[in-house]
Structure 1
Amino acid sequence: MLPFIYAAAVANRFGPQDSSTAFCLFLLSNVSYSPASHGSSISAAIPAGIAAGCAVLVLLAAYAVWYYFIHRRRRKRSWTQSRRQSGPLSDQIGASTTLIKFVFDDIRAATGNFSRENIIGQGGFGNVYKGVLSDGTEVAIKRFKNCSAAGDSSFSHEVEVIASVRHVNLVALRGYCMANTPMEGHQRIIVCDLMPNGSLHDHLFGHTGSKLSWPVRQKIAVGTARGLAYLHYGAQPAIIHRDIKASNILLDENLRPWWQILAWQDMHLKACRM
């Protein structure tokens, strides 16, 4: 800074030796200019200025380090508090559903020890059984094949997500069961309400003896499309149904169609896996 001030004094029309120049620049009066003393004062001021600048830089560096660690600690603390308040995604979803975690013995009792007489549907991933709970409620129970404990966390999470979906044309899940038994091995089971009129496949290709009129077929087609459109575009996260067929369309007592979302492997949670 001193060389610039000196340059300004030289550029002044009175010159650096004029007392008015010293008063203008430094508010000093009655100062006589001496080149020798001026040079010695500048040379003495340089080390002091360097020392002061270094001190300022050290202070700024210390402040920057302090601010970084304090800010980082605050961010970590706020993130931890938000995690404690909100919990993981599965906990948030689980809190918004009424899913029941069934005991395997209760499922076994409801299906008559998985009696073949209670099988109402068969697929590549397992059988669907008609079951009666202890309170007399009739349910549909799907038992998956070839399960292992490795995928239990993913299974429970996706079941919770599917259970949080609500639509007039989607079968709601009641609960699920995961168990490791000495005889049957690892088990994964899901439970939902039983549709009294079976599947659309039974009415179109089975031997039920019922004939669907064209207005009823139109109602089934429109309801089926609405349920599928909600799964693909309305649900958050989007659920892509990967097994669209007549056997997965269930009919209630009024022949209203319900999309069966029992087949966990036939679903794809689009938003959760992007």
Structure 2
Amino acid sequence: MERIKKTDTSGPLVSIITVTLNPGAQLLRCLDSVTGQTYPNVEHIVVDGGSTDGTRELLAKREGLRWLSEPDKGIGDAFNKGISMAKGQLLGILNADDFYEPDAVERAVKRIGVADVVHGPIRYWKGERLDCLYHPNDALLERDMTIGHPSVFVTRQTYEQWGVFDTTLKYAMDYELVLRFKRQGARFATEKLPMANMSLDGMSDRNWYKGYWEVARAQWMHLGNDPRIPLRLTKHLVRSAARRILESVGLVGLVDFYRRRCAMVKKDRG
């Protein structure tokens, strides 16, 4: 792939938004993955919720970074603050503990004009070990969140036409957003090669059941009274409860086998 020269800023501006709250050392990897992009015309916006772990001091030392630090009303509200600050034609949202592939932005920019939403595979990591490669499928969005949000790039026009994050949702706001775009007729494009990397370390699923309820709520909002929605919700709740029981008694291998064979989207194990 031909690399765009770092001195070339003639292409469309791309805005990357990162939301933080006491992110720790992982934030550096996120920041470096944005500054290290092969595409040069990128602005990085960090919306900090009032960190007390030295994050604000770190942000103040970074050249060219746009950031603010103030309380917010939740993740969706923080995302929307970043979107309102963004000046780019294409917008990506990258979590503080995730990081891009070096050419992710460059590949997304090439889709401007033929796609409203660009996304691609994601590598999931546990520490330094690759856990799996997640292959997305936006054709299945009416059933579940089947794309990886850290890989998603959305045009400014799409946000202006169909809206930003629903701040009444606390866990599935990203799913509701892309489902809304899909139902409104947005054009989705899938990259074949990985776009982003996501860390599984420190992820809490203590509110997993609330997430599933919000997924169902998003589906009711956009799909109406589809009788399959409560059936899928029940399936998710039972399956997740069973997984936790199996993991608690040491049957992790059986859980991995199920994920490989029965998941809606393909996951190649590391």
- Structures share fold, TM-score greater than 0.5: no
Bigger-Rg structure (1/2): 1
More helix by share: 1
Alignment TM-score, normalising by the size of structure 1: 0.25
TM-score, normalised via structure 2 length: 0.25
